[in-house]
Amino acid sequence: MIGTTILLIILMGLFAHLYKNAYKRHDNFPPGPPSLPIYGAYWLVLLKGLNNLPTAFIKYAKEYNTKVVGFYLSNIPSVVVNDPALIKEVLNREEFDGRMDLIMGRLRSFWKKLGIFFTDGYFWHVQRRFTLRHMRDYGFGKREDTLESTVAQEIKEMIDMSINGPKYPAEKELVNGDLIHLPHYFAVPFINGVIHIVTRSTVPRSEYHKLWDVARGALLFQRSSNDLGAALSLTPCLKDIMPKYSGYKDLRDGNQALLDFFTKLVRDAIDTFNEDYDRHFLDIYIRKMNEEKKLNKTTYSEDQLVLLCTDYMFPAASAVQALLTMLVDRLLLHPEVQDKVHEEIDRVVGRDRMPTLDDRKNMPYTEACIREALRMDTIVPLGVSHRATSDTKLGGYDIPQDTMVNLNFVTLHMSKEIWGDPENFRPERFIENGQLQLSKDKTLPFGAGRRICAGETYARQTMFQVFSCFMQAFKVSTADGKPKTKPAVRLQGIITSIPDGWVKVTPRV
């Protein structure tokens, strides 16, 4: 009897302790789900919306009647912002420019804190400013004729693979008769464009298989960090205990494809570096790196240069291809949209030449299709996690230093107050009196503020080139010829994508 009583007292004490910890939070911290042992609110968030975290946090925002959902991942205070105005506020406040120091960032950068995606403070500021200043001279961030011509040539090769058939064995994996395999069919123009920016050269068609390996690796990395990936960040030992099921193996293998590619590129540039002149961006960085070796402290290094190239390549090797693939998926659902794109291309450009960036201003519907795809299929739905670098306030709540801050861009891109009918794919919403109205585009697919995606201009320009030339050349339909009745499932990792697959392309003659 005494033993039973003692056991009950212990259990009651344990329950009281767990209950207290479940609802323990910083003063005036945003409301949200309680914490469970080990991973905090992680399991409750997954129960609310496994494979669709943006929807889970929208539900929590309604449940707790708040625009900022607060919770704890283990002992890490975390918030998700579910309001368009507050999202823009976070993006434009310097105290939210920090990045979380998580295993995902370390494993991809030689177990150091390198690159620009996952760095902050002085290091990030110096490296980002230097790279953008000099990469701009080679077409990154502005229009540049040599880059545009390079991308156009790669698009010609891409189209030739379908019309005239594969020339090399690796191409047979992406082209089979009148079928093409997406998303990697779109990869080469984007990837070779970035390579041209940093090296002033490109990988020839006979070696495209190297670029497809990079694209597959990048997409593997992006997809591997899914809803279950937080467990790896909270308990890094899982990488050794269960590397496959924790996602670590795919993250590592996917990232390694890019590291191997750029390590060789950078090493070749260093080995052939000439003090007398600069051949390309890599030379400019190497020169600066050599100068700073004389200093006691520097942010410049060979490993950092590899990570810079990797960071700038990641979106080109994964996100933009995924976006165009989802756009094709929308066209299969809405053949009338495809007809309008074809009509505009034929009217503005014709069939005797390829569309160029000069045509972009005269092709509002084609451009609007890309913008509508960026709106409906938010490419990075929760953004890259920010970190509060000091104690601050947001939406009336207190946000402690080192809080992880995520932005639910879906609440902006699917807001009925802003768009009226956000669930409909309607490119016309960006057009007025036959002209594209940028003021109507309230989307933030590339973020904003100091953390805005550095490659936005390059991505938008190249997506227009690739999409308009592709649509000029082909009519797309389902691989089996049957009408498409529902959109493909959206896969949520760091980015949104759909499963790889085949579509039919018919040359427009």
Known binding-site positions for heme: 453
One-letter identity of residue 281: F
Half-sphere exposure of 144 (CA within 13 A, CB side): 19
Q: What distances in angstroms separate CA 102 from CA 119, 229, 232, 316, one per listed residue? A: 11, 11, 9, 23
What are the φ and ψ backbone dihedral angles of 121, each rounded to 5 degrees?
A: 65, -150
Torsion of CA 485, 483, 163, 261, to 10 degrees: 20
Q: What is the DSSP string of 428-450?
A: GGGEETTEE-GGG----TT--GG
Judged by phi (left if over 0) then psi (alpha if -120 to 50, else beta), residue 168 lies in: beta
Q: Count the neighbouring beta carbons within 10 Å of the beta carbon of residue 267.
A: 12
Question: Do the beta carbons of residue 40 and residue 9 sit within 8 Å?
Answer: no
Q: Residue 408 and residue 86: Cα distance in Å, rounded?
A: 10
Distance between alpha carbon 339 and the CA centroid of its chain, in Å? 29
Which of 318-329 are b and which e, b meaning 16 or more Cβ less than 10 Å from the residue's Cβ?
Answer: bbbbbbbbbbbb
Question: Do the beta carbons of residue 394 and residue 79 sit within 8 Å?
Answer: yes
Question: Do the beta carbons of residue 70 and residue 32 sit within 8 Å?
Answer: yes
The total number of residues shown for the chain amounts to 509
Q: Residue 96 and residue 90: Cα distance in Å, rounded?
A: 6
Distance between alpha carbon 450 and the CA centroid of its chain, in Å? 17
How far is the first Cα of the chain from the last one, in angstroms, to the nearest whole number? Answer: 90
Question: Do the beta carbons of residue 380 and residue 494 sit within 8 Å?
Answer: yes
What are the φ and ψ backbone dihedral angles of 361, each rounded to 5 degrees?
A: -70, -20
Q: How many degrees, rounded to 5, is the angle at CA 143 between CA 141 and CA 144? A: 110
Helix residue spans in 39-120 (DSSP H): 42-49, 53-63, 84-91, 103-107
Closest CA to 107 of 261, 254, 309, 289: 254
Closest CA to 226 of 40, 409, 446, 50: 50
- And the tokens for 184? 């990697």
Binding site membership: which residues? 453
Q: Residue 362 and residue 359: Cα distance in Å, rounded?
A: 5
